[in-house]
Amino acid sequence: MNILKIRGMPAALTAFAGLIIIFIVFGMIDPVVFRTANIQNLLRGMAIYLLIGIGQSFVLITGNIDLSIGSVVGMSAMVSATLMSRGVPVIPAMLITLACCLLVGVLNGLLVGRAKLPPFIATLGTMFMARGVAIMVNGNRNTGLISGETGISSESATTFRNFFYFGSTFGLFNTFWIAMVIFAVFFFILSKTRSGRHIYAIGSNVDAAKLSGVNVGATITKAYMVSAFCAFVVGLVRVAMTGMGFMEAGNMYEMFAVAAAVIGGISPMGGTGILLGTLAGASVWQTLENGLNMIGAQVGIQRLLIGAIVPLAVLIGVTFRRDSSIKLISKWFVPSNKN
């Protein structure tokens, strides 16, 4: 089967092509970019954008949006770090945190899928609520070190931090591998399972899906739960990185997630895009950030250039699509009197 015929593949490949060009250009400016250590760092950074991007992609494909991702990352970091810094062992702390995060996902799903609120409004609300919890949970302060006086033992803290951030396997950081495993699982779910199919169907034509017997509310809730789960993992990564919980962790991540998804060809209108695109989009985003850092660009110019990529990528995508839609429309409307 022709690989280009796979839906969403052309957009994903375009983003990968862009990624390679960007990578090579930066490497030519400063060869340090090509060094193994940098590539290792780059992949670890990319993993974070990929994770939040996967979550946002699930929601975007249903034709909705999740603005609460960044706050759920913050909540995950603060809840888990608070628990661990008070001596709750790693595994129970993680499970409690997971439950809290999934609760936000379920709430989003109920508000958008059942109560039919506009997703922008519903998740704006949960965005503030989750951030509020993140700030409240340790009494309006960042946590101390998770291996502090009252915290977990320094051995288990080290294990936790190595598992999520500092350790590496086969020469690459664990964070990258965790993201890859999660990517593989959700890639499979989205492309090969009934739930995945329903996610596309709802984003494509919610009425048709409903009339075909698809449970729209439940499917949308599933998508928001995937998003919350991914944010949960990123929150843990943040705690592993710093060894403590910051109240502002994950700030703006929901927007980075939209950017990664959209660069990779996931349409915010729903119904199209594949996770491979999100992988490409997250890589483009991180490579730009990394490359600009390496050549010593200031934060302001970094944001400006990276920001320009988002509309540019979509413009390229729209131009591709426009051609085919013009063909399609002319097929519909031009009477075929040729014979």
Partner 1 sequence: MGDYIVSMENIYKSFPGVKALDGVDFNLRAGEVLALLGENGAGKSTLMKILSGVYTRDAGEMSINGKPCGDISPKQAQELGVAIIHQELNMCRHLTVAENIFLGREKTRGDILLNSQMEAEAKRLLDNLKIDISPRQVVGDLPISKQQMVEIAKALSVNARVLIMDEPTSSLTAKEIDDLFRIIRELKQSGCGIVYISHRLEELQHITDRVTILRDGKYITSMNFNDTTIDEIITHMVGREITEKFPRLSCKKGKEIFSVSNLNAGRLVRDINFTLYEGEVVGFAGLIGAGRTELTRAIFGIDPKTGGEFMLDGKPIYINKPKDAIKAGVVLAPEDRKKDGLCTKLSIRQNLALPNLDILSSRFFGVVSKKKENELCKKAVESLKVKAHDINVDAANLSGGNQQKVVVGKWLARTSRVVMFDEPTRGIDVAAKVEIYNIINELKAQGVAVMIVSSEMPEILGISDRIIVMCDGRITGELIAENTTQNEVMTYATRFESKKSQLEETK
Residue in 214, 226, 240, 280 binding partner 1, rule: CB under 8 A: 214
Q: Show contacts with partner 1 in window 125-144 (CB under 8 A).
A: none
Residue in 40, 142, 177, 210 binding partner 1, rule: CB under 8 A: 210
Q: Is 339 helix (H, G, I), strand (E, B) or coil?
A: coil
Query: Residue 197 CB, nearest distance to partner 1 (Å)?
Result: 6
Query: Residue 327 CB, nearest distance to partner 1 (Å)?
Result: 9
Alpha carbon distances (Å) from 314 to 50, 205, 289, 308, 317:
18, 22, 19, 10, 5
Handedness of CA 252, 238, 30, 281 (dihedral sign): negative
Work out whether 203 is an interface residue with partner 1 (CB under 8 A). Answer: yes
Q: Is 172 helix (H, G, I), strand (E, B) or coil?
A: strand
Pick the closer one to partner 1 by CB: 146 or 220: 220
Which is nearest to 218 in space by CA: 114, 125, 289?
114
Which is nearest to 109 in space by CA: 55, 181, 186, 189?
55
Residue in 102, 197, 293, 320 binding partner 1, rule: CB under 8 A: 197
Residue in 113, 250, 265, 271 binding partner 1, rule: CB under 8 A: 271
Query: Measured between alpha carbons, how far is 233 from 179 in angstroms, rounded to an integer?
Result: 9
Residue in 171, 213, 296, 300 binding partner 1, rule: CB under 8 A: 213
Q: Is the CB of residue 179 less than 8 Å from the CB of residue 51?
A: yes
Q: CB within 8 A of 307, min separation 6: which ones?
A: none
Contact mark string toward partner 1, 2..21, x via CB under 8 A? -----x--------------
Binding residues vs partner 1 (CB under 8 A): 7, 192-197, 200-201, 203-205, 207-214, 271-272, 324, 328, 331-333, 335
